[in-house]
Amino acid sequence: MLAIALGIRDVDEWQAWDCAGDSRKTAAARRVLPMTSRVRTVIEERWASANEPEEGWIFPAETKSGHIEKSTLKKQHKKVFETVNKEAAKNDEKPVRPFVLYDLRHTFLPGSGVRL
């Protein structure tokens, strides 16, 4: 399940989110992921600002699906690099090399000591 398509019901007691509801996942890939206190705070704040709904999306958007789409996030991610590198060029600084957001999950967890 994409975290951007995370629903209120996917969050269990504000401790973890459950990937089991995603039919695209294999049985081996389905698991409950622990939530850091920072992530919990962000999700709780979003939930509270939406008047504590019992269902719906954590990251709603005015799209056909009702949540942020991957394509929108990719466009925003690309624009960040364009903006940052334009500023870097103005200040005679080294540009930031773009990376794919998905790569973060492969670079963060192996060195973090987190076991899933």
Report which DSSP code applies to 51. Answer: T
pTM of the model: 0.55
The single-letter code of the amino acid at 80 is V
Looking at residue 29, its pLDDT comes to 62
Pick 100 or 26 by higher pLDDT: 100
| pLDDT at residue 83 greater than cutoff 90 | yes
DSSP secondary-structure letter at 53? Answer: -
What CA–CA distance (Å, rounded) separates 71 from 73? Answer: 5
Segment 59-66 mean pLDDT: 85
First-to-last alpha carbon distance for the chain, in angstroms, is 15
